[in-house]
Amino acid sequence: MMRVEVPAGPAINPSLGRVVLVAVFWLGLAVAVVPWWQDTPAGSVAGVAPTLTEVGRLAGIVGGYLLLAQFVLMSRISRLERWAGGNLVLRWHRDVGASLVVMVVMHVVFILLGYANANQASLPTQTWRIVTTYEAMISAVVATAILLALVLLAARAVRRVLPYEVWYLVHMSSYLVLLLIYGHQFADGEQFLPAGFGRRYWTFLYVVVVASLVYGRVVAPFRLNRRHRLRVREVVVESDDVFSIYITGRRLKELQVKAGHYFRWRFLARGCWWQAHPFSLSASPNGRWLRLTVKVVGDYTAKLSMLPVGVRVYVAGPSGVFTSDRASRPRALLIAGGSGIAPVRALLEELPRGAIVIYRARSGEDLVFREELEVLAEARGAEVWFVVGPRDDPDSRYALTPRGLRELVPDVAYREVYVCGPSGLTSAVVDTLRRLRVPERQIHLDRFEL
Ligand SMILES: Cc1cc2nc3c(=O)[nH]c(=O)nc-3n(C[C@H](O)[C@H](O)[C@H](O)COP(=O)(O)OP(=O)(O)OC[C@H]3O[C@@H](n4cnc5c(N)ncnc54)[C@H](O)[C@@H]3O)c2cc1C
């Protein structure tokens, strides 16, 4: 019989955290607008040209602020994610990204129209004059071009066809945008005059952003990896295209990690060291080893199956909020498809007794951890349903329809529901849960997509 250990650690009230983060965001933006407001007395914006120009300036200030907020959202500061919730940070990143580009385009268009109107010049003439005479304007043009390219790349249709590595590298050029916009703001911005409050405030904002990035993406991972010195202990085949990697290291008991968390793993082996990929834990941390379970879907995951024992591992994280401390209900329902069984298998060790697991797989061969799930179910008074059949098999599909799910789990609306798997499955399940009136706060989703 397998022995189960439940790690400690305080939960943070996400809704309070979210309120604090949103309040700080809006307060920060309000303060950023103050110098413009003070410099733009009532009555000074009279006529077409001044109105266009001031709208352009305000859009520039808001755009500059959103750019900085964007970087804080991607700083991987764990408290931010814990306070907001992983999926929400991603959603904010997407929304702020879209608003940022709208603000930047408004800034460019309104400023050009305003100046052209004031100078009675044509738009092309005015544009050329501004680009060739204003300091740091070339960098502003380059930064705007990169931002527009990033928005294009974020389109789902483009992401689907683009190799992840290419998308990732182009996305890294956003750091160049930060540098270029900094130059443009401090050289051309009306509110950035020497010794002004505006200049001091924006300097403070840039320092906060750079400090968050350095801490979240460099210092915190470096400290964690120096402390725990992780190595590959064993690679175990689970099925034809799924294998588990057991990781050992120092002081694992002290690692603040829970079932449902994922790390970005960098395996310092030939052909792998230059990439870091996210994988969830597939067993609850037990202080002796960590386990991740990988489905081969591409070239990198194929290489991982041949990792030699002893390879050093460098991780960033833990990340994600697909964890038991998010549960507000005493009992849980866990729905997994494909490699989504990994965090679900781990969560079953930590969630209270009486959980129900529905594991959707195309064939019996695709089922991994079958024996572990059955042993755990017995140990934790849980039920496990294996729903096996091809994608279009009516019986298997029925199990996840509102009627089918209610038959399997009559009290579904009173359970905390964790869903993990391919996006087609997760979207269909979320739709079913909503139709069964399961409250949104009880639905936890891990789409395996960032
Ligand atoms: C939070 C999270 C947890 C995950 N947990 C697991 C797990 O426990 N087990 C498992 O088998 N898979 C997991 N995945 C998926 C896994 O990260 C990808 O399957 C893997 O990175 C594919 O790499 P590849 O080069 O072999 O395939 P590719 O063909 O290059 O990529 C296949 C797809 O994987 C995604 N992907 C590729 N590289 C990355 C990357 N560096 N970062 C993010 N996404 C990437 C892209 O969307 C791409 O379309 C998880 C993904 C996320 C986002």
The domain segmentation of the chain, as residue ranges, is 14-223, 229-319, 326-447
Buried b / exposed e along 354-392 (16+ C-beta atoms within 10 A): ebbbbbbbeeeebbbbbebbeebbeebebebeebbbeee
Pairing of strands 277-280, 383-388: unpaired
Give residue 1's pLDDT.
35
Cα 409 from chain centroid (whole Å): 31
Q: Which fold would CATH assign to domain 326-447? A: Rossmann fold (3.40.50)
Task: Record the tokens describing residue 18, joined without a space.
Answer: 């979210």
pLDDT of amino acid 194: 66
**Whole-structure pTM value:** 0.90
CA dihedral 255, 257, 262, 265 (to 10 degrees): 0
Task: Quickly count: other Cβ atoms within 10 Å of residue 318's Cβ.
Answer: 23
Largest CA distance in the chain: 84
Tokens of 269: 């082996």
Residues lining ligand 1, Cβ inside 6 A = 164, 262, 275, 277-280, 292-295, 297-301, 320, 339, 342, 448-450
Residue owning the nearest CA to atom 50 of ligand 1:
448
**Is the CB of residue 358 less than 8 Å from the CB of residue 385?**
yes
Q: How far apart are CA 386 and CA 363, in angstroms?
A: 10
Predicted pLDDT at 408: 95
CB 268 within 8 A of CB 262: no
Ligand 1 pocket: which of 247, 344, 445, 448 to mutate (most atoms <8 Å of CB)? 448
pLDDT tens per residue across all 450 residues of the chain? 333 344 444 455 667 888 899 999 999 999 999 988 888 877 778 889 999 999 999 999 999 999 999 999 999 888 787 777 667 888 899 899 999 999 999 999 999 999 999 999 999 999 999 999 888 899 999 999 999 998 888 887 787 788 888 888 888 899 999 999 999 998 887 767 667 888 999 999 999 999 999 999 999 999 999 999 999 999 999 999 999 999 999 999 999 999 999 999 999 999 999 999 999 999 999 999 999 999 999 999 999 999 999 999 999 999 998 999 989 999 999 999 999 999 999 999 999 999 999 999 999 999 999 999 999 999 999 999 999 999 889 989 999 999 999 999 999 999 999 999 988 899 999 999 999 999 998 999 998 876
Helix axis angle for 341-350 and 370-379, nearest 10°, is: 20
> Counting atoms of ligand 1 from 1, which one is nearest the CA of 449?
53
| Protein residue with least CA distance to atom 36, ligand 1 | 164
The count of residues in the chain is: 450
For 385, the token pair is 């349903």
Q: Which ligand 1 atom sits nearest the alpha carbon of residue 275?
A: 41
Q: What is the 3-state secondary structure (H, E, C) of the chain?
A: CCCCCCCCCCCCCHHHHHHHHHHHHHHHHHHHHHHHHHHCCCCCCCCHHHHHHHHHHHHHHHHHHHHHHHHHHCCCCHHHHHHHCHHHHHHHHHHHHHHHHHHHHHHHHHHHHHHHHHCCCCHHHHHHHHHHHCCCHHHHHHHHHHHHHHHHHHCHHHHHHCCHHHHHHHHHCHHHHHHHHHHHHHHHCHHHCCCCHHHHHHHHHHHHHHHHHHHHHHHHHHHHHHHHCEEEEEEEEEECCEEEEEEECCCHHHCCCCCCCEEEEEECCCCCCCCCEEEEECCCCCCCCEEEEEECCCHHHHHHCCCCCCCEEEEEEEECCCCHHHCCCCCEEEEEEHHHHHHHHHHHHHCCCCCEEEEEECCHHHCCCHHHHHHHHHHCCCEEEEEECCCCCHHHHHHCCHHHHHHHCCCHHHCEEEEECCHHHHHHHHHHHHHCCCCHHHEEEECCCC
294 CA to centre of ligand 1 in angstroms:
9
Hey, which of 171, 275, 301, 315 would you mutate to test ligand 1's pocket, going by the most ligand atoms within 8 Å of its Cβ?
Answer: 301
Q: Whose CA is nearest to atom 4 of ligand 1?
A: 279
Atom of ligand 1 nearest to the CA of 292: 8
Looking at ligand 1, which residue's alpha carbon is closest to its atom 49? Answer: 164
Residue-wise pLDDT for 113-123, tens only, equals 999 999 999 99
Is the domain spanning 229-319 CATH 3.40.50.300? The answer is: no
